[in-house]
Amino acid sequence: MDYKIELTKKTKQPVLSVRTRAPVTDLPMLCGKVFTDIAAYLGELGEEPTDAAFVAYYNMDMENLDLELGFPVSKALAGKGEIQPSFIPEGNQVSCMHKGSYSATEPAYNAMLEWIGKNGYEPTGASYEFYYNSPGEVPESELLTKIVFPLK
């Protein structure tokens, strides 16, 4: 599959998020709970997300993933409990849109890492996935996931 890989420069993006560790098998339940909790808290604040829900992956240990789950917001907001203000750092990033099941994203990741290497960039070690729809809304084949690699 050909992926449209884009290089962009982004400004610092405020988010409300939960930082946690979990095995990959817990991700569906964890995402559902955390995204629902943050959306409810945003409603209490009278705020709305400025983009899709995301998961940041800070490692790739499938038994003990270091994760940040959240929503981009328009400005820094106060936290509540495990929901805390954070940000996606400014700088260059590479992204592409994957269409299909979450379990089939590996070719997109590989294409992006190949592009990064060929073009003389270096990833920071984190990656983000932004989820523009969900398995409850569309068939697996129609899932849209934007994959992002911040660059050093």
Domain ranges, ordered by start, for the chain: 6-150
Residue 11, pLDDT score: 96
Tell me what pLDDT residue 44 has: 97
Model pLDDT, residue 79? 97
Pick the CATH number of 6-150 from 3.40.640.10, 1.25.40.10, 3.20.80.10, 2.40.170.20: 3.20.80.10
Q: 3-state SS of the chain: helix, strand, coil percent to 5?
A: 25, 40, 35
Kindly give, in sequence order, each residue whose CB lies less than 8 Å from that of residue 131, ignoring residues fewer than 6 positions away: 31, 52, 53, 54, 55, 143, 144, 145
Is the Cβ–Cβ distance between 11 and 72 less than 8 Å?
Answer: no
- Mean pLDDT of successive 10-residue segments in the chain (152 residues)? 91 98 95 97 97 96 96 97 97 97 94 97 96 93 97 96
pTM: 0.95
For position 28, what pLDDT does the model report? 92
Predicted local confidence at residue 14, as pLDDT: 98
Residue partners of 47: CB distance under 8 A and separation at least 6:
73, 74, 77
